[in-house]
Amino acid sequence: MQEPKTISMDAGNGVENYVLIPKQQWEKEHLQKVTEDKEIKLRPWAHEITGIKSYNKLIPLLNHYRKDLDINNGGCVYFPNKPGVPYKFVAGEFKDFVIRHKRVFTKAKI
């Protein structure tokens, strides 16, 4: 096996050695490390996670919690501000929110 190529650099903390990795290999490895929790999902996924099949039940419920959920307030849901733009959800954070508010989402199914 070939020894990896290294380069010595001083980035202000003294001289350190860095391993050079081909860009394509790094991109592939990096993409594989992206966890599902940080994936961005669309509204059909939210219907699946909440168990609420009706758009007319899910959207008002999301709007009720908009202050907590809105990505502009540090939440995990992108609320579109014009028609035709999809809702987007940060998967892991939204799952956690649904679990914390299980009673509300369970009632909405009925």
pLDDT tens, position by position, 26-46: 455 544 444 445 688 889 989
> Quick one: tokens of 110?
């009925």
The pTM score is 0.62
The predicted structure's pLDDT at residue 40: 83
> What's the Cα-to-Cα distance from 84 to each of 60, 64, 92, 99, rounded to whole Å?
17, 21, 25, 29
Query: Residue 4: CB partners within 8 Å, gap ≥ 6?
Result: 19, 20, 21
pLDDT band at 49 (very low <50, low <70, confident <90, very high): confident
**CA-CA-CA-CA torsion sign (25, 28, 33, 38):** positive
Longest dimension (CA), the chain: 64
pLDDT band at 109 (very low <50, low <70, confident <90, very high): low
For residue 108, pLDDT beyond 60 = yes
Taking the C-alpha atoms of residue 91 and residue 78, their distance in angstroms, rounded to an integer, is 12
The predicted structure's pLDDT at residue 10: 75
For residue 92, pLDDT beyond 70 = yes
